[in-house]
Amino acid sequence: MTEQVLADFDIGQIARSGQCFRFRPLAEGRYALVAGGRYIEIVQRGQMVGFECTEAEFETVWRPYFDLDADYGHYKQAVAKRDAYLQAAVHVGSGLRILRQELWETIVCFIISQQNHIGRITKCVENLCTLFGETCYNKHGEVYHAFPTAERLAGCTAEDLAPIRLGYRAKYIAAAARQVAAGEVDLDAVRGMKYTAARAELMRLTGVGVKVAECICLFALHHIDAFPVDTHIRQMLDAHYPKGFPMRRYKGFAGVMQQYAFYYELMTN
């Protein structure tokens, strides 16, 4: 167990935030997570957070994954005092962080997310991993499954994916996997691109439109100026920012504000 005292961090809020779909609640304040083929359990009591891994694994894997070197207090302090909506959103989601997720997994998850809700997305992702992911074992000897590679999914037909009940998204995932496996879209190159170039390249993938590309840029590539607009955010903008969101004020980290707003909409509507 590696223990850390962490401000501006709430594992429950992060698990419920709709960024990642492989968190599993184990008990109050305790979650299991599979990410990048690794399994970890995380327990939180107040600001004390325990990561069930070695110090070395924490430093090399989980510290960057949870963006723990960033000062989220600074982001929250940047919110305009007169902006009652965003002040409320920051208060409700005070422990959120923007995760640094694996790129291919994030692509597939957000293709699945289209016209979908978090509970169903989570179930689809878990079933996809169970059927096509590598079988692994955690320290308790329990089975878990890594996220399936693009090469593995490239060989799948829509019929192979039918048990997961992905609907029209199945053909998108199979086609995107073939594009990646064939090198038509080079994910290593995408990782090195700036935000606008990465978004444009991601949109070459079947099933990836503007909103999905923005989500991938934010939650995998850590372009925290990305600002995905889905139904929740569109309704929020119409209700609270009819003249447009103040992007200039949050230049360089507008995506962090988007996540506070998205979580607030999720929790209050």
Q: Which residues are catalytic?
A: 211
- Angle, CA 218 vertex, CA 262 and CA 255 arms, to 5°: 50
HEC string for the chain: CEEEECCCCCHHHHHHCCCCCCEEEEECCEEEEEECCEEEEEEEECCEEEECCCHHHHHHHHHHHCCCCCCHHHHHHCCCCCCHHHHHHHHHCCCCCCCCCCHHHHHHHHHHCCCCCHHHHHHHHHHHHHHHCCEEECCCCCEEECCCCHHHHHCCCHHHHHHHCCCCHHHHHHHHHHHHHCCCCCHHHHHCCCHHHHHHHHCCCCCCCHHHHHHHHHHCCCCCCCCCCCHHHHHHHHHHCCCCCCCCCCCCCHHHHHHHHHHHHHHHC
**CA 269/CA 136 separation, integer angstroms:** 38
